[in-house]
Amino acid sequence: MKQLVACLMMVAIILAVPVAHAKEAATMAADPVLEKRVMALAYELRCLVCQNQSLGGSQSDFAIDLRNEMREQMDQGKSDEEVTEFMVQRYGDFILFRPPVKSTTLPLWIGPFALLAIGALVLFIHLKRRKRTINTAPLSDEERKRAESLLDNK
């Protein structure tokens, strides 16, 4: 009898453990396709409390809450764009890992190319000017002689 009770208790403990763990694990959508969509979008959004992590990669309460919200909204049939819009309205463009092209972010997008173009232009003008000074200053006879003697010595 004692053994039976012990055995039943063991079974109870074994059964209880996964239940206790189930509470710890993050909730997931029943539909794997939906869950994939949620996580794909979550990896595109910044976790504001852990800043260098995405909402997909973070286990903070903030990220879990927002993932739940995304899951719920997508479950109601909202598109990725609508969910993203919901997040941007509340947390600003900062939540997006890819900044949108807007008047305020234009320098960010064009800046590097503009700097590259300026650099190329400066280089081009400089080279052209250098070529001209080389062409317009031919060697004098004396210089030519010196150059020849130097070359011959070698």
Partner 1 sequence: MTRHLKYLLPLAVFGVMVWFLGRGLYLNPREVPSPLVDKPAPVFTVADLHRPELQFASENMKGKVWILNVWASWCRACRDEHPLFVELGRQGIVPIVGLNYKDQRGDALEWLRALGDPYVASAYDVDGRVGMDYGVYGVPETYVIDKQGIIRYKHIGPVTAQSLQTKVLSLVKELQG
In the complex, the residues that contact partner 1 under the rule CB under 8 A are 48-49, 51, 61-62, 65-66, 69, 88-94
- In angstroms, what is the minimal distance from the CB of 88 to partner 1? 7
Q: Are 48 and 96 spatial neighbours (Cβ–Cβ below 8 Å)? A: no
* Residue 92 C-beta: closest distance to partner 1, Å: 4
When the beta carbons of 122 and 139 are compared against partner 1, the nearer one is 122
- Choose between 51 and 149: whose C-beta lies nearer to partner 1: 51
Are 27 and 37 in contact, with CB atoms under 8 Å apart?
Answer: no
Beta bridge partners of 45: 96
Residue pointed to by tokens 């997006």: 96
Taking the complex as a whole, the smallest distance from the CB of residue 115 to partner 1 amounts, in Å, to 11
Q: What is d(CA 140, CA 116) in angstroms, rounded to the nearest whole number?
A: 40
Return phi, psi of residue 134, to 5°. -70, -45
* Token output for 54: 């995405």
Nearer to partner 1, 16 or 106 (CB): 106
CB of 66 to partner 1, least distance (A): 8
Name which of 44 and 93 has its Cβ closer to partner 1: 93
The CA-atom distances, in angstroms, between 95 and each of 9, 62, 77, 82, 138 are 49, 12, 22, 14, 63
